[in-house]
């Protein structure tokens, strides 16, 4: 079975540009999570969805960040406009909420560099 | 709020050495506990888990026991290999609240030298 798929794997953009990261969760999973990983802050949860509905977006750093999940098999994380401090690895993860498993399956990540 | 504290790295060992990475937690409910591993250039992978007190999770020679009395979930391996070099994350989830999100520790970088 395919795991969590993220695209692109690497993104280099200039400050001020719009960036869109994409994620396809594992089929049948009803939870989707977006994380950001940096050396300084470690792994941070940005937002998560249940059945395509955002449940907790308290980790989204500011209004420049937005996330959508139009259907069960696709989610996007958008940064507009991008800034150099947004440079990080962004991970998408999914899980199946079967009453307590909580096991999250991570994608390979998108390495974003904003110059 | 809930939190996880791991021993600070980096940790460097020789092949076949014994490994312990300490993890302690603070939680208001009854969490499940996890160890995730991140190999270079990859996402996190679940290594093992324990869902209640005194449970022992094990996988690939790694073990960790859920100790409620000491609020700990230390990761151990009897004989490490070069291929175990990675970053290890301890995490918890609060099953009482029903929230599906995990709380991660800061990660411990492990390097095994041949």
Q: Which of the residue ranges A45-59, B43-57, B58-72, B94-108 would you say has the lowest mean pLDDT?
A: B94-108
| Interval A1-39: pLDDT, tens | 689 999 999 999 999 999 999 999 999 999 999 999 998
User: What sign does the dihedral A51-A52-A54-A56 (CA atoms) show?
Assistant: positive
pLDDT at B1 over 90: no
Beta strands at A110-114 and A10-13: parallel, antiparallel or unpaired:
parallel
User: What sign does the dihedral B75-B58-B103-A7 (CA atoms) show?
Assistant: positive
Q: What is the mean pLDDT of chain A?
A: 93
- Interface with B, mutate which of A48, A95, A102, A111 (most B CBs under 10 A): A102
**pLDDT given for residue B7 in this prediction:** 84
A55 C-beta neighbours (distance < 10 Å), count = 15
Smallest CA–CA separation between A100 and chain B, in Å? 6
Partners of B21 in the β-ladder: B75
B32–A100 CB contact, under 8 Å: yes
* Residue whose structure tokens are 């000491």: B70
Beta strands at B75-77 and A88-95: parallel, antiparallel or unpaired:
unpaired
Chain A residues inside the 8 Å CB shell of B8:
none
DSSP string, B59-97: ETTEEEE-BTTTTB--EEESS--GGG-EEEEEEEEETTT
Smallest CA–CA separation between B106 and chain A, in Å? 6
Mean pLDDT of all residues in A38-57: 92
| pLDDT band at residue B99 under the 50/70/90 scheme | low
């Amino acid at each position: 079975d395919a795991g969590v798929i993220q695209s692109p794997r690497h993104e280099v953009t200039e400050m001020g540009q719009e960036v869109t990261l994409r994620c396809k969760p594992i089929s049948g999973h009803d939870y989707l999570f977006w994380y950001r990983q940096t050396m300084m802050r470690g792994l941070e949860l940005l937002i998560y969805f249940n059945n395509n509905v955002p449940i907790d977006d308290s980790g989204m750093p500011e209004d420049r960040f937005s996330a959508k999940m139009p259907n069960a098999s696709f989610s996007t994380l958008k940064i507009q406009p991008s800034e150099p401090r947004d440079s990080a690895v962004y991970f998408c993860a999914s899980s199946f909420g079967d009453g307590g498993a909580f096991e999250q399956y991570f994608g390979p990540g998108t390495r974003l560099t904003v110059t | 709020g809930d939190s996880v504290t791991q021993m600070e790295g980096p940790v460097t060992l020789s092949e076949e050495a014994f490994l312990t990475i300490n993890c302690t937690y603070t939680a208001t409910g009854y969490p499940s506990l996890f160890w995730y591993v991140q190999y270079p250039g990859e996402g996190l992978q679940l290594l093992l888990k324990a869902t209640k007190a005194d449970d022992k999770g094990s996988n690939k020679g790694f073990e960790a026991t859920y100790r409620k009395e000491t609020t700990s979930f230390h990761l151990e391996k009897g004989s490490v290999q070069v291929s175990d070099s990675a970053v290890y994350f301890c995490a918890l989830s609060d099953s009482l609240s029903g929230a599906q999100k995990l709380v991660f520790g800061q990660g411990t970088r492990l390097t095994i030298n041949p």
